[in-house]
């Protein structure tokens, strides 16, 4: 019996409210041995106060030693075993912008990039081109025409756009064309199983035509394709947990992941303050609220310790508005660690705080990596966070006689 079979059997409906605040890439590392991490350096009086009331620990997104992408990281937090439910970034991105994927669709998360006259990449994100410049270019790529395949192109944000290929015989297993380095050309699309050979050929033709359309652009004169994936099939929050759930997120990919597990996407918030207003407006309508904050991750990926500290302090600043609503369960964590000294996602357990009336309070005095190491939750796989949330909300019956 897997965890979802268990929660289906044991779920209880009541009026409790659960808030999951996800500071993306929250976990970090000190800049020198014995120093403090970004979270420990940040002034977080609200989370520190809650750490004294609640219980802390370290969430392991997938398995010990495994550095997760954002998709598996969030799936774990949502209680879906990321090794069982494999979702490509393309499907997340497409769903996030509201594109309804069909059964014969393959979705691709595309990046504009800059190449030089020899075809080598000089900037993998086209200088983080602003959306007002990139969106018209994405729309222009709708001119790509490939016989036997419908091609959809949708702008997303900054250097990102979505490509959806629709047609028979398209598999979702094609390796990324981003080499993750500059000074080298983009990789050719390569099928990783026989069912996706046609997809790789179509992707190569898309890139060829895109380069011709983008020729002469100062920044976005080429593109790379990432996260090629077919439509996934996940059971909903309502089904497995008995929760009316909503997501309050800014970035499309996180909206997409929430939508795939049956959450409603509420509001059009662009800032944390606006997200708090959306939370307050929708408090009566839902049982579960997923609030996503991106910038603790992006500053970590930029290798900017001080900026990540400031962004962490912003997260702390929104906590009083959440707690003023008196949630029955409040959880703050991240989907993975993004230490600025590594400038990438990492395998380190993620600081996690759970506050509820009947949680077993531990001796943690503040919210940070060192304190969480001695917290009462211990180090646990992220997929067990939702059962903990449900039990603390009085939403699970006992198992067995």
What DSSP string describes 101-164? --TTEEEEEEEEEEE-TTS-EEETTGGG--HHHHHHHHHHGGG--BTTBEEEEEEEETTEEEEE
DSSP alpha helix (H) spans, 215-302: 237-241, 252-260, 272-282, 295-301
SS3 (DSSP) at 52: helix
Greatest Cα pair distance, the chain, in angstroms, is 72
Cα-Cα-Cα-Cα dihedral sign, residues 189, 158, 141, 181: negative
User: What are the boundaries of each domain within the chain?
Assistant: 14-86+233-392, 92-230
Helical residues (DSSP H) of 289-384, grouped into ranges: 295-301, 305-323, 369-373
Q: How far apart are CA 277 and CA 274, in angstroms?
A: 5
Is the CB of residue 376 less than 8 Å from the CB of residue 54? no
| Spatial CA neighbour of 241 closest among 177, 169, 306, 290 | 290
Query: How many angstroms from the chain centroid is the CA of residue 6?
Result: 26
Hey, what CATH topology would domain 14-86+233-392 get?
Alkaline Phosphatase, subunit A (3.40.720)
Q: Mind listing the pLDDT tens digit of every residue in the chain (401 residues)?
A: 889 999 999 999 999 999 999 999 999 999 999 999 999 999 999 999 999 999 999 999 999 999 999 889 999 999 999 999 988 788 888 987 888 888 899 999 999 999 999 999 999 999 999 999 999 999 999 999 999 999 999 999 999 999 999 999 999 999 999 999 999 999 999 999 999 999 999 999 999 999 999 999 999 999 999 999 998 888 999 999 999 999 999 988 899 889 889 999 999 999 999 999 999 999 999 999 999 999 999 999 999 999 999 999 999 999 999 999 999 999 999 999 999 999 999 999 999 999 999 999 999 999 999 999 999 999 999 999 999 999 999 999 999 98
| Residue 100, pLDDT score | 81
Helix axes 197-214 and 131-140, enclosed angle (nearest 10): 120
Give the chain's length: 401
pLDDT at 299: 96
Give the containing element (helix H, strand E) for 92: helix 89-96
Backbone region of residue 227 per phi and psi (left: phi > 0; alpha: psi in -120 to 50; beta: other values): left
Contacts of 133 (CB under 8 A, 6+ apart): 219, 220
Q: Which two tokens stand for residue 181?
A: 């380095």
Q: What's the Rg (C-alpha) of the chain?
A: 22
CA 277, CA 21: separation in Å to the nearest integer?
A: 15
């Amino acid at each position: 019996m897997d965890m979802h079979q268990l929660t289906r059997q044991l779920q209880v409906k009541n009026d409790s409210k659960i808030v999951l605040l996800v500071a993306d890439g929250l976990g970090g590392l000190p800049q020198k041995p014995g120093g403090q991490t970004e979270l420990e350096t940040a002034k977080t009086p609200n989370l520190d106060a809650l750490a004294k009331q609640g219980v802390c620990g370290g969430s392991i997104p997938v398995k010990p030693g495994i550095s997760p992408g954002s998709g598996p990281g969030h799936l774990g937090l949502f209680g879906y075993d990321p090794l069982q439910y494999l979702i490509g970034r393309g499907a997340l991105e497409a769903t996030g912008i509201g594109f309804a994927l069909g059964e014969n669709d393959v979705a691709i998360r595309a990046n504009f990039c800059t190449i030089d006259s020899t075809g080598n990449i000089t900037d993998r994100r086209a200088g983080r081109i602003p959306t007002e410049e990139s969106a018209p270019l994405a729309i222009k790529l709708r001119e790509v025409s490939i016989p036997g395949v419908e091609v959809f192109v949708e702008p997303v944000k900054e250097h990102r756009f979505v490509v959806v290929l629709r047609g028979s015989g398209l598999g979702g297993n094609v390796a990324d064309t981003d080499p993750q380095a500059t000074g080298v050309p983009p990789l050719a699309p390569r099928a990783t199983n026989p069912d996706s050979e046609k997809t790789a050929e179509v992707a190569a033709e898309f890139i060829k035509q895109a380069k011709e359309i983008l020729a002469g652009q100062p920044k976005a004169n080429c593109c790379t394709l990432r996260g090629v994936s077919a439509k996934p099939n996940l059971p909903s929050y309502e089904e497995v947990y008995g929760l009316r759930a909503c997501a309050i997120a800014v970035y499309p990919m996180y909206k997409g992941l929430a939508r795939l597990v049956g959450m409603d996407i509420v509001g059009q918030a662009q800032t944390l303050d606006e997200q708090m207003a959306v939370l307050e407006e929708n408090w009566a309508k839902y049982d579960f609220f997923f609030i996503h904050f991106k910038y603790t991750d992006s500053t970590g990926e930029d290798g900017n310790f001080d900026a990540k500290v400031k962004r962490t302090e912003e997260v702390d600043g929104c906590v009083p508005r959440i707690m003023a609503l008196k949630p029955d369960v409040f959880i703050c964590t991240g989907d993975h660690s993004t230490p600025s000294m590594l400038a990438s996602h990492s395998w380190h357990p993620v600081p996690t705080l759970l506050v509820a009336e009947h949680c077993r309070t531990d001796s943690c005095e503040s919210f940070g990596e060192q304190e969480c190491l001695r917290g009462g939750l211990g180090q646990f796989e992220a997929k067990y966070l939702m059962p903990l949330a449900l039990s603390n909300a009085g939403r699970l019956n006992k198992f067995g006689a």
